[in-house]
Amino acid sequence: MKQLLYLITALLLICSCSESEKVTTGNIYGTVSDKSTGELVPIANVLLKPGSIAKTTGTDGSFEFIGLEAGTYTIEITKESYNSKTEQITIVAGQDVEKQIIIERIPAVVTVDRDILDFGDKDKTSTLSFSIVNSGYEDLVWSAEYECPWIKEINPSNGTLKYGKTEPITVVIDRVKLAGGDNETKLVIKSTNGRSELTIKAIGEIFLLPVVVTKEVEDITSKAATFHGEMTHEGNPVYSERGFVYATIAQPTIEENTGKLVAEKDATTFSSAISELTPNTVYYVRTYAINEDGVSYGNDVTFTTEIQPTTVVTSAATDISMNAATFNGKITDAGIPTYSERGFCYDTSNNLPTIANTKKIVEGSDSESYSIKVSGLTQETTYHIRAYAIQGTEVIYGNEVSFSTTGVEPTILSTSSATDISANSATLNASIIDAGIPAYSERGFCYSSTTSTPTISDIQIAVTGQEVGNYSTSITGLVLETTYYVRAYVKQGANVIYGNTISFTTVWVATTVTTSNVTNLGTTTATLNGVVTNKGTPGYSERGFCYSSSTTTPTINNDRVSVAGMGVAGNFKKDITGLRSGEIYYVRAYVIQDSRVVYGNTVQFVTVELPVVYTNSVTNITSSNFGLNWSAIFNGTIQSIGYPGYTERGFVYNTYMNPTVSNSKKVVSGKAAGTFYATITNLSSYKTYYVRAYAKSPSGTIVYGDNVSFRTY
């Protein structure tokens, strides 16, 4: 139809022209169609050049250019989602050109809604979003691809995007992994027919180590000092810890086996006091600070601890005589460096003697007590002494101690042997021949169980009196079976004079006890018997019995009864109750001597078990003498003979219930278990009788069976 219309129009134009008029123009009639579908494409852009005449295709995909001058033209077809298409057409005057132009769709691809996703650095943002778009004509499968260590997550990272749809994508980054300064990477969105790119940017924090300076060390002693430092730059990020490291080698670090002090974080300057340093030692110290970027150190500062001075104490002189004495001292601290010489200096006129006076060197270099006996002293003269030590070039003195030599020393004949020795006491004895000049002021004894040369610094007992001759004293509270060492002593002025050493050992005599046979056995009772054959030294504090039915060697941890009395020899006993009848028991007498338990021999006993008796039915109840006399057979059973076995059995009967052996009784021979019987005669007529079987235990206890009754007529 459309072609027919074109033809009619052309004929009319031709007819309307005069034959003398010449035609110089032509027309272009065309359509635009889709290459893949063959369908006509509406609203496509059609541009004619030269002249830049623009038109769009109609709903039927057609276009036209009328009255074009003869010549060559270019037609360019464009439309969104299609590749542009250019066609060249030549117009001949007076002719029409029909042109069908085919255009091809651009392959569909997922695109992004922006070019850059910028995380920046100010707000420390770690999560941002963008959108992907499918503006094509088909569903597209897509995926995100990237190679970047600081991108933490893309969500979602793949999927299918329907045509004409948009989908948000979230990007999460890890700022810790950002390099300092600008960071940039590409995120590629690949889809079915192509790819799109998105630039992702972020600014990483620039890390800077803190800067610290080490100042001079102050307050230096032999073992302590105060470190000082200054923070000139806090670093980025700000430091988390600062302090000092120190060692005896240069440039100490916190990784090495060095000392470390953490300082406060408040002020620019900071300090830390250190103790327990080694005296007379060169140390290196420097500041440190730590942030996320690492550890920084300040400069080295060197200092030397002071020496540790030697200290010495002068003790009282001992063993003072007319012309001799023992000087005593102690090095309480050898110092660092250790002293090179020790000894004593003394003088009679200078109360603070020095080594410029008389001195005595004592070998040794330890931190212990030391002594030296000095002879050649003047009788009855006061001396001043001081212990000393030399450390380096310095002489260090102890305190001053004075003493006086004696005139005539007292003479102790001997420390005599101890007497009356017991477990915890003894009598000490000694004798003085000469009281001395001046006379002694105190006498007595000193003793010890740990040293063979006791002094009055051990246990001291003074004995009144200042005369010449024998003296004694008793001591108590000793430990048994222990050896003691004793020396008599006297005091003459400030001098202590000792006699010879004697020793003695406190005694121990063990208590002995035996267990006797158990008596008065009952079903639940018994009398336990024992004998203390030797009361011992020291005497025992408790005696009694222990017993058990489960062990043959009972102890006081089993059943236990104590018996009044202690420290004496002889017999003792105890009545006990609550036993089980017929049970085997084991008993031992015991005593407790000085917290030790001494046991006697084991004795076995069995409690009494009563026999078990039953009364059976009466049989053969008969009469004689025209019914005036009756007879019957009584029957019984001994189910258990008891322990010990019963000694008598039989029957008792009467005209009232519960007859006993004090009523009518019939003894039946035998001592075994089982049934037994007896024939009873001369029973009265018209009587109801009650009969019981019985058995008698060796202890005399009567055990009865139940009442059984019968009647005569």
pLDDT digits (tens, 9 = 90+) for 527-583: 999 999 998 888 899 999 999 999 999 999 999 999 999 889 999 999 999 999 889
Distance between CA atoms of 212 and 268, rounded to whole angstroms? Answer: 10
Distance CA 420, CA 498 (A): 23
The owner of tokens 């509406």 is 42
Would you list the DSSP string of 99-159? EEEEE-BPPP-EEES-SEEE--SSS---EEEEEEEE-SSS-EEEEEE---TTEEEEES-EE
Q: What distance, in Å, lies between the first and last C-alpha atoms of the chain?
A: 158
With a CB cutoff of 8 Å and minimum separation 6, the contacts of 649 are 613, 636, 638, 667, 668, 670, 671, 676, 693, 694, 695, 696
CA separation for the pair 170, 241 (Å, rounded): 37
pLDDT at 177 over 90: no
Among candidate residues 267, 276, 207, 205, the one with its CA nearest the CA of residue 242: 267
Compute the distance between CA of residue 60 and CA of residue 202 in angstroms, rounded to an integer: 52
Residue at token pair 């997922």: 110
Residue 238 exposure: Cα atoms within 13 Å on the Cβ side: 3
Residue 23 is predicted with a pLDDT of 82
Alpha-carbon span 562 to 589, nearest angstrom: 10
Which residue reads 């299609």 in tokens? 82
List of E strands, 376-481: 382-391, 394-404, 411-419, 426-434, 442-448, 459-463, 469-475
* Predicted local confidence at residue 170, as pLDDT: 94
Six token digits for residue 7: 């033809």
List pLDDT tens digits, range 292-302: 889 999 999 99
Inform me whether the pLDDT recorded for 9 exceeds 60.
no
Q: What percent of the chain has pLDDT over 70?
A: 95
Domains of the chain: 2-103 (2.60.40.10), 110-204 (2.60.40.10), 211-304 (2.60.40.10), 311-404 (2.60.40.10), 411-505 (2.60.40.10), 512-606 (2.60.40.10), 612-711 (2.60.40.10)
pLDDT at site 629: 87
Query: Residue 2: pLDDT band by 50, 70, 90 thresholds?
Result: very low
- Helix, strand, coil % over all residues of the chain, rounded to 5: 5, 55, 40
> 212: part of which helix (H) or strand (E)?
strand 211-214
pLDDT-based confidence at residue 358 (cuts at 50, 70, 90): very high
Q: What is the pLDDT of residues 612-664, one digit of tens each?
A: 999 999 999 998 877 678 999 999 999 999 888 999 999 999 999 999 999 89
Query: What pLDDT was estimated at residue 551?
Result: 95
**Sheet-wide strand order for 629-640:** 612-624, 629-640, 674-683
Residue pLDDT, tens place only, 451-494: 999 999 999 999 999 889 999 999 999 988 899 999 999 988 77
| Measured distance CA(153)–CA(251) in Å, rounded | 44
Q: What percent of the chain has pLDDT over 90?
A: 66
Give the integer Cα–Cα distance in Å for 622 and 620: 6
- Whole-prediction pTM value? 0.37
Name residue 668's beta-bridge partners: 649
| Of 554, 612, 559, nearest in space to 582 by CA | 612
pLDDT at 1 (0 to 100): 41
Of the pLDDT bands very low, low, confident and very high (cuts 50, 70, 90), residue 257 is low
Please give the Cα distance from 102 to 41 (Å, whole number): 9
Q: Mean pLDDT across the chain, nearest whole number? A: 89
* pLDDT score recorded for residue 412: 58
The residue-averaged pLDDT of 55-81 equals 92
Q: What is the DSSP letter of 40?
A: B
Q: What is the pLDDT of residues 268-285, one digit of tens each?
A: 899 999 988 999 999 999
Q: What is the pLDDT of residues 408-439, one digit of tens each?
A: 665 655 789 999 988 889 999 999 988 877 78
